[in-house]
Amino acid sequence: MSVIDEVKQRIDILEVVSQYVKLTKSGRTFRGLCPFHSEKHPSFFVYPERQSWHCFGACNTGGDVFSFIMKKEGIDFGEALRLLAQRAGIALPSRLEPSAKRDEQERLYQINEVAAQYFHNLLLNSPAGEKARSYVASRGLSPETITSFQLGFSPNSWEALKQHLMERGYTESELLPAGLVVETEAGGTHDRFRNRLMFPISDVKGRITGFGARALDDSLPKYLNSPQTPIFDKSSSLYGINLATAAIRQQNMVVIVEGYMDVITAHQNGFNNVVASMGTSVTYREEDKDFWRAYNEPAAREARRIGVERSAEVSEKQINILRRMTRNVVLALDADAAGEEAMLRAVGYENTLDAEVKVIILPRGKDPDDVIKKDTKTWQKLLEKALPVVDYTFNMVTSNLDLTTAKDKSLAVDKLLPIIAEIKDPVRQAHYLQKLAHLVNVAERKLEAALKGIKPSPSRRRVEEPKPEAVAQALRPVFSSPVEEYCLALLLQRPELKDYPQHPLPEYFQNSENHEIFIAWQQVSDLSSLRDKLDPAIWEHLDYLLTKSLPPNQIEEKYADAVLRLREGFLRSLATKREAALALEAELGGTAAELAKLEEQGIEISLQLGEVFSQKRRKVRSEGAEK
């Protein structure tokens, strides 16, 4: 039995959920107010017999005990496993808990915390921090905001922070991996951040992982971040996430901006669901090398390493962090950043979220910070008028075209069809194909034919056959789902299925370990890198799936059947849960609105089940005709 199965066997979902939600027994189920969105009428159900939960309200989602803890605590699968294992009194194998690495990381968190306190005290109290204090005052930041974000000041000294930390027992060899000091060519070290306004960067748990720093003079680069460290990865960090998590969940929406000050000003004015991506595309221009050397050699090396040109870009890792809290993402872009490439990336975010991404376009030359400080109502209106990213792209591309001419019709199709091709959801793809056909007054079937000829982006191309894994056959998990495992085994062992047109939705996988593997499979173009995306706790289950015995032929037919069975099982389970919820609402005298909502959900589920049954009948008839 794997450690995951052992945790599932010992943990009772009812006991776990009850620590977060006040539950009332209703027949064989328990219900309460959903902990993931604001509501007055209970729509959250726990099913002890199935060890699962489901929200029939705004969330309309569910899962097992792992998915509940991941969503509630804002953590990944590995962290949820460790938390639940600790509650169950289960000692995790050493391979899943590398103590040396944990100790090193904890030490780095401590160093960053001490550094942040040092910088913060200098900003508030030191004579040298007067210029930084004047700057934050000119930006309209209140003392409460400065404290909440723990803003600081790094003195114009080569070794002030280094000496401060060493006096408190930290060694020079520890400060290097923390990214707080830089190694010189002579073998010594000096402080990385000097004469800068400091922005501590925290993870969802509030632990300081790194720093952003703004120059207070003409130094370049203007903004400088901590380098990659064992605890800081810029592509998976979101500035302000520790202060925004509660608001994101409560409002079921997150707004992503580009800069530190944008986040701080938004929070100070009550828009607490705002975070910054901090993602950058950087370029060190070799023609500037003489300038950087003249400035100083350490700066030249640093500029070469991090680049001197920055442009905001959200990463898949950041989207995956946010999707645990909400699927409603709004990007705040300035007019210059909202190009076609940015829109194409945003469609990729939609595929990850399985939901629409919206964009608000700021007035030219204005940041969210500028807009909010001038008039909070203007910012609120921009949020309310946010457009789905594909609709905005249509408007952006066609605004300067004359669609009565053949030339501009062709241009519109050339620019928009590749974006439509990236949309994985077949219904949404069909919607925008119809919209484009209407705009250019061209038969939809012709655009559909052209769509099929578009070469997919690298992430969607067929992957090569991975090398065979020399792994032992794992024992069949106690809490297994045969259809889920069969479907995943086909995908993992048959790379050619990556290009198959119909894949299951992530929510069809109710076992969290299967769900995690499927999400990771969606994100990689080469299966050899799949293991790196998964927590080590899931490797044993992955190996089991990779060595599972499969039929040697008719793979596509077998896979199509597995996807259909997976969808049917998910819908049947959902229908059973919804019927129980509807009966309970009727028994307890639920409001007409709540009853109508549940009935509407039931109709939608019935329609989808009808589609499944129709496909099964067609399949039976087809097989009969072949015989």
Core vs surface per residue 10-36: b (16+ CB within 10 A) or e: ebebbebbeeebebeebeebbbbbbbb
Q: Tell me if residue 187 falls in helix, strand or coil.
A: coil
Mean pLDDT across the chain: 81
Distance CA 83, CA 86 (A): 5
Tens of pLDDT, residue by residue over 235-271, are: 889 999 999 998 998 898 999 998 899 999 999 999 9
Residues 163, 167: Cα–Cα separation, whole Å = 6
The Cα 232–Cα 226 span in angstroms is 8
% the chain with pLDDT above 90 = 38
Tens of pLDDT along 540-581?
888 888 888 787 778 888 888 888 888 888 888 877 777 777
Tokens of 238: 């979101």
Check for a shared fold between 3-95 and 102-232: no
Residue with the bigger pLDDT between 305 and 165: it is 165
Is 301 buried (19+), middle (13-18) or exposed (0-12) by CB count in 10 A?
middle
Residue ranges per domain, the chain?
A: 3-95, 102-232, 400-454, 557-626
- Residue 237 tokens, joined: 């960090």
Q: What is the DSSP letter of 91?
A: P
The whole-number pLDDT of residue 478 equals 33
Q: Where are the beta strands (DSSP E) in 169-257?
A: 181-183, 189-191, 196-202, 208-215, 223-225, 254-257
Residue 595 has pLDDT above 60, yes or no: no
**Pairing mode, if any, of strands 329-333 and 254-257?**
parallel
Residues in the chain: 627
The tokens describing 221, both together, are: 């680069």
Q: H or E stretch including 344?
A: helix 340-353
Structure tokens belonging to residue 358: 């919206």
Return phi, psi of residue 496, to 5°.
-65, -20
pLDDT at residue 385 in the model = 92
Cα 559 to Cα 423: distance, rounded to the nearest angstrom: 22
- Band (pLDDT 50/70/90 cuts) for residue 301 is very low
Question: Which contiguous run of DSSP H or E holds residue 483?
Answer: helix 482-493
Distance, in Å, from the CA atom of 360 to the CA atom of 50, rounded to the nearest integer, reads 42
Distance CA 512, CA 78 (A): 11
Backbone angles phi, psi at 79, to 5 degrees: -65, -40
* Structure-block tokens of residue 218: 């003409």
Comparing 73-87, 448-462, 470-484, the range with the smallest average pLDDT is 470-484
Tens digit of pLDDT for each residue in 190-199?
A: 999 999 999 9
Q: How far is CA 115 from the centre of its chain?
A: 29
What CATH architecture is 400-454?
A: Up-down Bundle (1.20)
Using alpha carbons only, give the angle 218, 223, 229 rounded to the nearest 5 degrees. 135
At 256, list the tokens.
């992503």
Q: What pLDDT digit, counting tens, does each position of 124-135 carry?
A: 999 999 999 999
Q: Which CATH architecture has domain 102-232?
A: Alpha-Beta Complex (3.90)
> Order of strands, edge to edge, in the sheet holding 152-154?
152-154, 196-202, 208-215, 223-225
Residue 469: band (very low, low, confident or very high) from pLDDT cuts 50, 70, 90: very low
Q: Where are the alpha helices (DSSP H) in 497-554?
A: 512-523, 539-546
pLDDT band at 409 (very low <50, low <70, confident <90, very high): very high
pLDDT greater than 90 at residue 184? no
Higher-scoring residue by pLDDT: 506, 164: 164
| Residue 405 scores a pLDDT above 80 | yes
CB crowding 401-430: b at 16 or more within 10 Å, else e: beeeeeeebebbbebbbbbbbbbbeeebbe
Q: Which amino acid is at 315?
A: S
Q: Of 466 and 220, which is predicted with more confidence?
A: 220
Residue 620: pLDDT band (50, 70, 90) is: low
CA distance 347 to 362: 20
User: Is the pTM value of this prediction over 0.85?
Assistant: no
CA distance 96 to 541: 14
Spell out where 428-553 has E strands. Answer: none
Q: Would you say 254 and 281 are in contact if contact means Cβ atoms under 8 Å apart?
A: no
pLDDT tens for residues 104-118? 888 999 999 999 999
Residue type, 106: E
pLDDT of residue 471: 26
Asked if CATH classification 3.90.580.10 holds for the domain at 3-95, the reply, yes or no, is yes
Residue 438: exposed, middle, or buried by beta-carbon count in 10 A (0-12, 13-18, 19+)? exposed
- CA–CA separation, 127 and 132 (whole Å): 10
The amino acid that residue 120 corresponds to is H
pLDDT the model gives residue 510: 85
pLDDT of residue 226: 93
Q: Which two tokens stand for residue 288?
A: 């500037």
